[in-house]
């Protein structure tokens, strides 16, 4: 059984006898943006994304910048890149990182096989980092594969749970209005203290919203805003929508975002993010059977008992000599070593049940007893992610 990060594109199947029978395959991102263009009577815009990732993580209180903090042994920023990569219509992703972390970022891209990623050096502030990312898209330098997009998404490297639907909403709104951003209701009331720390006034919470990410802009709108931006805004500002309003005179269209758009800021947020990622982990179960007659039925039973959608595969052992059976089982161990590099933990699960002649009811009962034991093992593997069980053949 292997469990990997949500939405990950799994590695190649282990051997020619492995064949998938149930569960949805990891499909490519739907052509949502193309459909939007057709419905609106226009072509789909070219879209790129910029991720400022030059923060030091002071508020988190750890020596490692938060975007590189590990969650389930994988850097946080890798989950964010994975979320953007799942959206096929984002053609380029620009990540702004500090010079001292450039090699670390290159290592993450290589290890987790991220695609469509370009790196630029971050500035000393968030706005300067974003500006550097925009410059990389605007300049069209010779021998550079990047070209200027029509719409650019700006997102945070430490918001890993962004989904395609909200990205599509802000991009389509930006194409129509020039700028767009996700918002959420305020959780706490905002107050203004006086200089001597007394309450001056409070804001009516229902009238205000929290500005979140992602945001999207017509490229020319936000790039021209940054070009005109004052040093004070570049140094102390944090809101891109405000720059579009102040310098390009564009009022952003606000889009209601989902609760999952929150930002990993404090150390406790890492534990919350880990919990969410565990819940979202995709499961792929490899069931070793002596017969192929009940494959679809077994897969359905496992999904029913685990109450989750699975990718279930079977090794066809019918008419295979015992020595070859064991050889196939041993392949699990070598395959597990390879996929571990991508933070996928793989174990083998052997589900055995005796066939009872002329008694289908008793046979079904014994099958379900074995499956219940298998479900207990699978659930424990998903929850605990015990690396000590990598490559091991477990028996239910």
- The span from the CA of 309 to the CA of 181, in Å, is 33
Q: Is the pLDDT of residue 382 over 60?
A: yes
Residue pair 219/137 in contact (Cβ under 8 Å)? The answer is yes
pLDDT of residue 108: 96
DSSP state of 257: P
Per the omega criterion (within 30 degrees of 0), is the bond before 214 cis?
yes
pLDDT of residue 343: 64
The chain-wide mean pLDDT, for the chain, equals 80
**Higher-scoring residue by pLDDT: 283, 86:** 86
> Cβ–Cβ contacts within 10 Å for residue 324, how many?
11
Helix (H) or strand (E) holding 76: helix 76-85
Would strands 311-316 and 282-289 be described as parallel, antiparallel, or unpaired?
Answer: parallel
**Higher-scoring residue by pLDDT: 308, 128:** 128
Q: Is the pLDDT of residue 113 over 60?
A: yes
Name the token pair of 369.
């007893």
Name the token pair of 76.
């946080």
Name the token pair of 387.
């690396």
- Rounded to an integer, the average pLDDT of 55-60 is 72
Name the token pair of 125.
């502030």
Residue pair 283/210 in contact (Cβ under 8 Å)? The answer is no
Q: How confident is the model at residue 55 (pLDDT cuts 50, 70, 90)?
A: confident
Residue pair 83/261 in contact (Cβ under 8 Å)? The answer is no
pLDDT of residue 284: 46
Query: How does pLDDT run across 7-44, given as a tens digit for each residue?
Result: 333 333 333 222 232 333 334 444 556 555 555 556 68
SS3 state of residue 126: helix
pLDDT of residue 5: 40
Residue 282 φ then ψ, to 5°: -80, 145
Query: How does pLDDT run across 62-101, given as a tens digit for each residue?
Result: 778 999 999 988 999 999 999 999 999 999 999 999 999 9
Helix (H) or strand (E) holding 254: strand 253-256
Q: How confident is the model at residue 389 (pLDDT cuts 50, 70, 90)?
A: confident
SS3 state of residue 220: helix
pLDDT above 70 covers what percent of the chain? 72
- The span from the CA of 317 to the CA of 323, in Å, is 11
Q: Is the pLDDT of residue 307 over 90?
A: no
pLDDT of residue 8: 39
pLDDT above 90 covers what percent of the chain? 49
pLDDT of residue 32: 59
Contacts (Cβ under 8 Å, ≥6 apart) of 249: none
Tell whether pTM > 0.75. Answer: no
DSSP state of 114: -
- The span from the CA of 201 to the CA of 160, in Å, is 35
- The span from the CA of 32 to the CA of 89, in Å, is 8
- The span from the CA of 349 to the CA of 288, in Å, is 7
End-to-end CA distance of the chain: 13
CA–centroid distance for 109 within its chain:
14
pLDDT of residue 363: 76
Name the token pair of 105.
């970022």
Q: How confident is the model at residue 59 (pLDDT cuts 50, 70, 90)?
A: low
Number of alpha helices (DSSP H) and beta strands (DSSP E) in the chain: 12, 18
CA angle 312/313/316 to nearest 5° reads: 145
């Amino acid at each position: 059984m292997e469990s990997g990060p949500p939405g990950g594109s799994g590695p190649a199947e282990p051997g020619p006898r492995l064949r998938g029978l149930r569960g949805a395959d990891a499909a490519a991102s739907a052509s949502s943006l193309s459909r939007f263009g057709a419905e609106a009577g226009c072509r789909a815009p070219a879209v790129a994304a910029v991720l400022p990732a030059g923060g030091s993580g002071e508020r988190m209180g750890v020596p490692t910048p938060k975007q590189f903090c590990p969650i389930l042994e994988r850097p946080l920023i890798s989950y964010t890149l994975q979320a953007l990569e799942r959206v096929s219509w984002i053609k380029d992703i620009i990540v702004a990182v500090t010079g001292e972390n450039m090699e670390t970022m290159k290592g993450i891209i290589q290890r987790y096989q991220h695609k469509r990623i370009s790196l630029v050096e971050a500035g000393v502030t968030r706005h300067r980092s974003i500006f550097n990312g925009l410059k990389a898209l605007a300049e069209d330098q010779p021998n550079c594969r990047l070209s200027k997009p029509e719409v650019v998404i700006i997102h945070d490297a430490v918001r890993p749970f962004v989904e395609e639907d909200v990205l599509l909403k802000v991009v389509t709104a930006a194409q129509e209005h020039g700028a767009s951003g996700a918002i959420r209701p305020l959780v706490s009331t905002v107050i203004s203290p006086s200089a001597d720390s007394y309450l001056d006034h409070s804001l009516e919470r229902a009238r205000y919203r929290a500005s979140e990410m992602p945001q999207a802009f017509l490229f020319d709108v936000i790039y021209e805003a940054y070009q005109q931006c004052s040093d004070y805004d570049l140094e102390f500002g944090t809101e891109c929508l405000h720059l579009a309003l102040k310098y390009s005179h564009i009022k952003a269209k606000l889009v209601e975002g989902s609760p999952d758009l929150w930002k990993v800021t404090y150390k406790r947020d890492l534990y919350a993010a880990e919990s969410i990622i565990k819940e979202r982990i995709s499961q792929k179960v490899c069931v070793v059977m002596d017969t192929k007659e009940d494959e679809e039925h077994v897969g359905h039973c496992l999904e029913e008992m685990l109450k989750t959608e699975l990718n279930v595969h079977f090794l066809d052992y019918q008419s295979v000599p015992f020595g070859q059976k064991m050889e196939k089982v041993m392949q699990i161990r070598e395959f597990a070593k390879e996929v571990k590099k991508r933070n996928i933990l793989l174990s083998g699960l052997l589900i055995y049940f005796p066939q009872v002649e002329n008694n289908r009811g008793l046979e079904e009962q014994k099958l379900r007893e074995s499956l219940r034991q298998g479900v207990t093992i699978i659930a424990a593997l998903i929850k605990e992610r015990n690396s000590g069980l990598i490559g091991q053949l477990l028996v239910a």
